[in-house]
Structure 1
Amino acid sequence: MKLPNTAHTSPPWRIHEITPDFRLYDVWALPTPGGPGDFPRLVRQTASGDTADNPSRAARALFAIRWKLGELLGWDTRDSGVGSRVPTLRDRLPADLRDGPSGPEFDRLPFSSVYLTDDEWASEMANRTVHAVMHLAWVPDDTGGHRGQMAVLVKPNGLFGKVYMAAIAPFRHLVVYPPLMRRIAQTWQAGSPAA
């Protein structure tokens, strides 16, 4: 379920310290009911995800088109990523986060872990269009338990990046996120890695 931006901006998440120049694009309640100690499971499942396994044929097609365009137009080359076009957000971390765990590496998605705490995990990716952060948090829910929450923060790369983000907005909300949320729920209930 899509949440208001305040669901991310109101809590004192550590991510706020390192992304003041990023814009919050999306906040989602994840269908991952659990207890206070289940956050590591959500982190592991997310790190093992793959866009090619999305249950929606339309979403898989969109991702395939996006990866192909990126290949043809050079959007996703090595020199456009984190550590090349943009410095890693790990360089911005305060000492306690920098000295702590960064989190798992992703199996297939082009993200890199930035930091991991007991209730937050941030990862980043960059290409010619954007520098983006996926922030996962473990929050209390209305039933006395907990659930995951995902926020997407983006720093567009100039005018091209802003136009790109505006162009993909309807696809994100109508084609990508709904089946992704269903897949996360199915995977969580089955207890297997998320895709």
Structure 2
Amino acid sequence: MRLPRTAHTEHPWRIHAVAPDFGVEDVWSFRTPGAGPDDFPVMLAAMRAHGGLARQPPAVRFLFAVRWKLGRLFGWDRPEAGLGGRAGSLRERLPDDLRNAPVAPEPGGSPFTPLYDLPRESVRELANGTGHSLMHLGWAPAPGGDGEYELRMAVLVKPNGRFGSLYMALIAPFRYLVVYPALTRMWERAWREHGRPDARAEAHPSSPVPPM
């Protein structure tokens, strides 16, 4: 479910101090019935078990395929346009406690680079010719005040000039109508199928997030 930007900006996430120059593009919530405050690693493990793009519906895979083809055609994904090239990694900004904390590696094929992992917060970054983006996953109290928690995803972006801003505006309808609804179905199903007591006993805090 789409949330207002304030659902992210008003929560005391550590990312606020790390990336104050990034704008909040999207905020989305995913229902995890029965989840408690310490179940974030369980959710990450469930997401990993359900895989990434290969498990998405054909429409989502088609959109990503078109994006990668355009990236090759226009050079958006050249190494010099990515992290360490045009854009420096935000790891340079991290305070010592975040920089030294264990971080889970990304699964093979993921375009994201891990930034930091915490018991209720995980951040990955990606840079290319269109901009520098962060995928922030957080574990927050669910509405209703019954003590349950839910997964929230925020996409933070620093566009590459006017072109980057135009690109984000052009792909917004595809994100809202196709990509995020598909993610919702997949990640909420992952919780229903794997967010059980036996899964919680097997979960590990370093469980990586899936590729997007």
- Secondary structure of residue in 2 paired with 1:103: coil
Supply the RMSD in Å over aligned alpha carbons: 1.9
- Secondary structure of residue in 2 paired with 1:75: coil
Aligned to 2:148: 145
CA contact (8 A) 2:110 2:210 kept: no
Q: 2:158 aligns with which of 149, 155, 174?
A: 155
Give yes or no for the alignment of 1:167 onto 2:187.
no
Letter in 1 for 2:82: G
- Secondary structure of residue in 1 paired with 2:174: helix
Deviation at 1:47, TM superposition (A): 5.7
CA distance, structure 2, for counterparts of residue 104 and residue 146 of structure 1? 25
Deviation at 1:102, TM superposition (A): 2.8
Higher relative contact order (CA 8 A, sep 6+): 2
Aligned to 1:59: 60
Deviation at 1:72, TM superposition (A): 2.0
- Secondary structure of residue in 1 paired with 2:147: coil
Aligned residues: 194
Deviation at 1:163, TM superposition (A): 0.9
CA contact (8 A) 1:44 1:104 kept: no
CA distance, structure 1, for counterparts of residue 163 and residue 154 of structure 2? 22
Q: Deviations over 1:36-85 (max 9, x none)?
A: 22211333455674223212x22221111001111222111222111222
- Secondary structure of residue in 1 paired with 2:8: helix
CA distance, structure 2, for counterparts of residue 144 and residue 63 of structure 1? 37
- Secondary structure of residue in 2 paired with 1:40: helix
Q: 1:187 aligns with which of 155, 175, 190?
A: 190
Aligned to 2:29: 29
CA contact (8 A) 1:125 1:131 kept: yes
- Secondary structure of residue in 2 paired with 1:151: strand
Deviation at 1:28, TM superposition (A): 0.8
- Tell me: CA distance 1:167–1:107, structure 2 relative to 1, closer, same or farther (3 Å): same
CA contact (8 A) 1:126 1:132 kept: yes
- Tell me: CA distance 1:75–1:47, structure 2 relative to 1, closer, same or farther (3 Å): farther
Moved more, 83-92 or 101-110: 101-110
CA distance, structure 1, for counterparts of residue 193 and residue 173 of structure 2? 30
CA distance, structure 1, for counterparts of residue 56 and residue 10 of structure 2? 31
Letter in 2 for 1:124: E
Moved more, 164-173 or 104-113: 104-113
Gaps of 5+ in 2: 196-208
Deviation at 1:103, TM superposition (A): 3.2
- Secondary structure of residue in 2 paired with 1:104: coil
- Tell me: CA distance 1:9–1:137, structure 2 relative to 1, closer, same or farther (3 Å): same
CA distance, structure 2, for counterparts of residue 136 and residue 190 of structure 1? 20
Aligned to 2:5: 5
Letter in 1 for 2:180: Y
CA distance, structure 2, for counterparts of residue 100 and residue 9 of structure 1? 23
Deviation at 1:104, TM superposition (A): 3.0
